[in-house]
Structure formats: structure tokens, C-alpha cells
Structure 1
Amino acid sequence: MHESVGGLEIDLVWQPQVAAPRLPVAWLSDEEKAVELQRVQARRAMDTAYEAELILALADDRPATADPPPDTPGARRPGWTAQPSETVSEFLTAELATVPSVGRGTAAIKVARALTWRDKLPATFAALAAGEIDERRAQALADVLMHTSAEVAGRVEDALLGEAGDLSVYKLRDRATALLLQFDDAAAEERRKEARRPPTSSCTPPRPTAAPRWPRTCPPTRRPSASTWSTSSPACSRPTAIPGRSGSCGRTCCRR
């Protein structure tokens, strides 16, 4: 690439990056396999940080001010789609979902985490880019501190980032939540309101089930006698057999 800036000429040269050949896994010892697993985890964290940088670049190119204004056709409606931020275009999630082939909800989560790392957890973002913290722990911090202020998120980050690698993901999430309630009075009050709110249930009692219908069995068939077919006898005014259907007892279950 050759560019000219005024009287200064600048040449930019990129060397093609070729991945170093790797030994077959069967040749590695247990110690070498463990080292490779750590490298894979670090590369995954770096890729997550790089993905977040790309998402942030797309978000910066699509501000909410470029969307249709309120009360006009195509304007934003609250709750219509997942909105990770009020400063980002509502169409970003739809565009982003088509690139890695994910749902809009997943795309919105990726955008929200990237914005949280950049605006509220810069030290965590830097550690993620350096491979010093894995993606799951960085995501746990972002999910807990996503809706708090940058000041409170920074205090929680300063208290937990150094020991995040020694805690499990669930323990880290619990510690971050506890510190959030300690530092953020508004979040603590919201949790108290939720705790005092009476539980609601939309469950309805189950409908009574009908009694099972067992198949009816007919009594043993009897061969009708000659008097049964006689309609002139008073005792045979209601014959128990149907003429022309031998072996029938006259009940509904036998009328075939």
C-alpha cells in the first residue's frame, strides 16, 4: 500500500501471517497438552475481545440518530425488538444477526456486552484482549454490571478482577452481585422491592379428568329359539335378537 500525505510518502507493508505448524496431539505429553489447552483458552478470549471491537465499530457507524424520528413511519417502538442501547440503531441487531448467523436476541447480548466492556469495564476488556481472563468470567461480570453506572461497575471491577481467575463463574457472579448491592443503593432498593412483592402465580388448578371408558363386553351369545322370532306372542313383543343377524344380543355394542 502506497500513500502520499503532502510531501511525505508512506509505504505500508503487511507480511502474510502463516500459522505455525502444530505437532500431532498424539505426540504431546500430558504437560504439553495442558499447555495447549491454556493457549486455546487464551486465544478464545482474544478472539472474543476482537469480536467485541468489530461489533463496537459497527455500532459506532450506526447511531440511533440515523433512525427515523419518533411519530414517523418506521420509528422505533419500545419492546418491538431487543435493544441493547438507546444510542445504537435498532437495526444493528438485525444486521449483526445475519453475519455470524445467530438470532437477534444473541446479537443484542453481544452488543450489550461489548458496550459494557468498553464503557464500564475497561480493565476487564483489556484483560480479555490479552488473554488474561477467559470469556465466560468476562461475560459474567458484564451481565451483572450491565445496567449499573460506570462508577459502581468500576468499583466492583477493582475488587474482583484480580481474583476472578480463582473463582468459579457462578461464585464470581454471586460476588459481583453482592458488591453491586453494596455499592449501588438504587439496585439494592430494587432488590428489596422485589423481595417484598407478593408472589404471583398464573397456574390454574388442573381440570378433572374424565373417568376412563372401559370397553363394554357383550354377554355370551345365545342361539335364538323359535319363539324368540315370533311377534305374535305377548312375551315376544320386544325380541332380544335382531332378525337377520345371528349371534346378536340386541345391544348397541353388538350391532355390526
Structure 2
Amino acid sequence: MINKKITLTIQGYDIKLSSSLCFYQGDSIHLIFELNESTITINSNGTRSRVVLPIEPLSAFLLIEKAGNIDYIENASVVGNEVHFHISSKYTDTVGIGRMQIILTDDNCCQLTFSPFNFEVRENIAESLLSQADTLITDIDNVALMTNDGDGLMVGKSLVSDGVPVTSKYIRDLQQKGILDGEERLIIQDDEATKYTTMLNLYNYIIEHFGDTIDNEIREQIGTSGDELLRLKAQLNSLITNATNDLVAIRKLKKDYEDALAELNNQNN
């Protein structure tokens, strides 16, 4: 969930925001207002000082004025002195300066209204409003792939214009994964329903049922079996490791010899 937290400090009819409220057309966000009041207190020695105290309401409403029309949102939740509202794209579809105003309430019919404050909505670079839509996998002819239950195969969300509820995507346009770890899920169907399996299960099935065929094919093509190739690969890796260790040892002996020769020359001089 994307959220933005704003601290509101109230002093009489004045209200101060910790940061300005700026949106673009079509934005949707979880807005959190932290409510505080700046007030004067009298200390034990009689001096007056200004302190900031939290305001903890039971519930709240947010009035939203845009283009001369007024709507309201009931709080999503209240946690201490934090009031949560969800601002949907409905409230950010009009470019310009609007106003918001918070009204606090309790169970005893009491009501406290804060001074209004401005928010701004700017035009984005798209020609129309953008919104999120479910994305279906489609075949090469752009026909949606369906499960046995008639449900579309969803692959996430897409940004679309003009309020399109569903969009589509070819398999070739999906993100490609390079290195496989065996836990990848594949969609399969049998006579019962649409299910999934993993790459590891698929690999085990191929080895169990087609291992001999694969091994014979490798032997026919290169004159040896797959197991023999693995054994030769292990031997080659061992030879490379031993050769590398021998090279390191030779270089160390050479350095030791050069250091001893240099020390002998220094003694003679």
C-alpha cells in the first residue's frame, strides 16, 4: 500500500502542514494525517509556554472540495493521533487547486472542525486518465486463455486509459527469467481441473520417463553417454584445480627464491 504521512499542527484558526499535498491526475493513495495542537500552558512557576499536544479523536471525516463540488470520506482507521483516509482516483481526476477539511467526531455527538487547507492536482503526460486494470494472458490471436472453470489467467496489473477494466498481454511480452531454480510454477491441465506444477517436478518426470532415451540420443550423437560426460567434466575440473594449485606453488617458490637472492646481494654489498 502506497501511503503519505502529513503532520497537521493546529493553532486556533491557523493550520500548518508538514508538507504540501500534491497529486497528478488519477493518483490513488493512502493518506495519513498526524493531528497535533499548538497551545499555551502555564507552568508551576507561573510562566507561560507553548507546547504541541497530540489530538486523539474517535473518528473523523475528510471534506474534499474540487471544481466547486464538495464530497467527503469517512476515516479508514484511527490510530492514536493518526487518522487514515484512502484517497481514490475519484478525487484526483480534476486538474487544479482544491481544498480539504477535517472534521473530528466522537460517540457523544461532539464535533470539532479544523480550518481547510489546499491540495493541488496536476495533469500527467498521458492524454487521458490512467487507471489499473487486470491483465490476462492471451494466445497469438489475442484470445484470452481460460481455465477449465472459465476464469482468465491473470498475470498482474497494467496501466490503461479510458477506464478499461481488463487488458491483455501476450506470453512473449511477459518478463523473462534467466536462471531457473526449480521452484518456478507452470500452469497445467488434466481431466480434473487447471493446476500448476514446478520446474523441478517437470525435470524429475523427464528424467524418470525419458532418461534412457536422452542418454541414448547423446551417445548416438557424440559417442558417449550423459553420465560419462558428467564423469569427464568432474575429472577435467579436478585437473584444472590441481594445475591451478601447482601454479600457485611454483609462483611462491619463485618469489621465495627471488627474495633470498636479493637478501644475499644486499649482504655482499
**What's the TM-score, normalizing by structure 1?**
0.24
TM-score by length of 2: 0.23
- Higher helix proportion: 1
* Bigger Rg, which one: 1
Q: Which has the higher strand share?
A: 2
